Amino acid sequence: MINPAHIINQLFEMQSKIKEGGVAQNFERNFNRLFSLFEEDGFIVQDPTGEAYAETRTDCEASISGRIGSKMKITRTIKPIIYQKKDGVVQLLQKAVVIVENN
């Protein structure tokens, strides 16, 4: 069986590329639907871009660009966070791979 996290990562990458290309709106509904299908199967996908970063965030594997500081922010997400919900219990399936910068 195909690992759902691999498919989610590919979708996420496609979505990121489309965003960079400036035509994201045309595909927004399709991506929402795809991620919603995964959510129905218990896979919750989160894009932490723009969120504050602290060393307590064990849901991300971060590379810190620039100097560290007190107002660090996730500026790029290469892989999203994936949680898996099974029998009502949520587990971290994949840590996000992110780049962090100080504001």
Partner 1 sequence: MMKPVNFGIDLGTTNSLIAKYDGNKVHIFKNPVGQKETLASVVAYRPDRILVGDKAREYLTKDPVNVFGNFKRKMGTDEKYYVVNIDDNVTPVQLSALVVKELKNFIYTGETPEACVITIPASFDTMQSNATLKAGQQAGFKDIFLLQEPIAASLAFFNESGDDIKKDGYWLVYDFGGGTFDAALVYSTDQELKVVDHEGNNFLGGTDFDFAIIEKIIVPEIVRQTGIENFEQELRVKYGKYEKLYYELLYYAEEAKKELSYSHSVVIEFSAEVNGKRYEFSISLTREKTDEIFLPIINETVNLLKKVMENNNLNAKDINQIVLVGGSTFVPQVREQLALQTGIPLNYSSDPTTSIAAGAAYYAANKYYESSTVEEIPGSEEVTDEILSKVEFTPPDLEIETSYNKSSRDKEEVLLLFCEGAYENKFFRIIRSDGGFDTGLISLKAKKTEFLPLVTSVTNLFNLSVYDSDHKEIKNLSRQISIAQGKYTVGGQPLPHDISIEVDDVENKTTKLEVIFERNSLLPQKRTLYREISKTIKKGSKDSVIINILEGDKSARPSSNLTIGCIKITGEDLKTDLVKGSDIEIQLHITDSRVLNTSVFLVMTQQEFTNVFSVSEKHISLDRLRDQYNQLENELVETIKQFQYNANDVWEIKANVLLEDLQSAKNKLFKLKDGDKSDEKYIIAQKIMNVSKESDKLGGNERISILIEEYFELKERVLEAISSTDFEKDEMRKKFQKIEQSEDSFIRSKNVSFIDSKLKQLHDLHWDALCNTTSFLISRYVLWKELPKEFYKDYSAARSLIKMADVSLEKEKYVEFRSQVFSLTHLMVSTDQNFNKDFKGTGIG
> Which helix (DSSP H) or strand (DSSP E) does residue 7 occupy?
helix 4-21
Give the DSSP H or E segment for 69. Answer: none
Using CB under 8 A, which of 44, 47, 49, 73 touches partner 1? 44
The span from the CA of 88 to the CA of 42, in Å, is 9
Q: How many residues bind partner 1 (CB under 8 A)?
A: 34
User: Of residues 26, 29, 41, 86, which one binds partner 1 by CB under 8 A?
Assistant: 29
List 2, 25, 26, 67, residue binding partner 1 (CB under 8 A) = 67
Query: Token pair of 64, please?
Result: 């810190």
Does 17 bind partner 1 (CB under 8 A)? Our answer is yes
The answer to whether 73 and 53 are in contact (CB under 8 A) is: yes
**Amino acid letter at 41?**
D
Does residue number 20 form part of the binding site for partner 1 (CB under 8 A)? yes
Residues that bind partner 1 (CB under 8 A): 17, 20, 29, 32-33, 36-37, 44, 55-59, 61-68, 75-76, 78, 81, 83, 85, 90-92, 95, 97, 99, 101
